[in-house]
Amino acid sequence: MPRNPQPASLRPIMPPELPPTAPPFITRLEEPDVPPSLENIIDSNRLINQIKSHISLNENPTLTRDRLGKTLVHRHRLLTAHTASHPEQMPAWARLMEQRLQQNADSNKNEVTALITGVDKKVEALSKRVVNIEILAARTHNLSCDDGKDHAYVRIASPTGCFPNEDGFGRNNYQLPPLCCADDIQNLSDVHLNAYIQGYDIPYRRNASREQKLKKLRYYVGSRGAL
């Protein structure tokens, strides 16, 4: 015949030690049952009340608040072990409290998640603004250098903040030549030109000619050199 499942054996929960100087009316707990019984929990609760009374009524109590804290922890362990082995004995108020605590925990988790998501979005938006400012600053510098023969162009980032030959710049792993002047742009091979167009995410028509691609790249870099 089938048997009712028995609670798994638990490690003994040793009672808190009391110093020899503890008042005689303080109950010394015995090792609890495995799993802890309701009587064990009642005894632990009685000890807590005795220690509280001793501390509050004496100017120099022999039992400190630290000892009270250890006793509270002991009771909590008894309650946890007892409830795990006897869920049917959990009182209704305790179940309701557990549900409310779980609801609060879920609510706090959702609130924190929403807050983090909001911060991430703000950081992402700020990063994009910074990248756009860097691109505009580099483009303005390059425009002031005319064809770049007297003063070289500076590197300019892609809309994602990546520079040529960095991970994330386009889909290809070509070693791209630097664009220090207008001639460097003009002398790009078709492969390198397409890699720059893709890396800078410059829109173009599928049948665009080389001259049209060069014009778009010059505009993005900020080159005044004539085609």
In sequence order, the 6+-apart residues with CB closer than 8 A to the CB of 215 are 227
d(CA 137, CA 151): 16
Both tokens assigned to 20: 């020899």
d(CA 193, CA 171): 13
Q: What is the pLDDT of residues 206-219, one digit of tens each?
A: 889 999 999 999 99
d(CA 128, CA 161): 8
Tell me the C-alpha to C-alpha distance, in Å, between residue 120 and each of 65, 129, 131.
44, 14, 16
In sequence order, the 6+-apart residues with CB closer than 8 A to the CB of 148 are 142, 180, 181, 182, 183, 184, 223, 225
Q: What is the pLDDT of residues 102-138, one digit of tens each?
A: 888 788 777 777 777 777 787 778 788 888 899 999 9
d(CA 187, CA 49): 89
**Do residues 15 and 67 make contact, with C-beta atoms less than 8 angstroms apart?**
no
Q: What is the pLDDT of residues 15-24, one digit of tens each?
A: 888 888 888 8
For the whole model, what pTM was predicted?
Answer: 0.48
Task: Please report the pLDDT score of residue 83 as a whole number.
Answer: 72
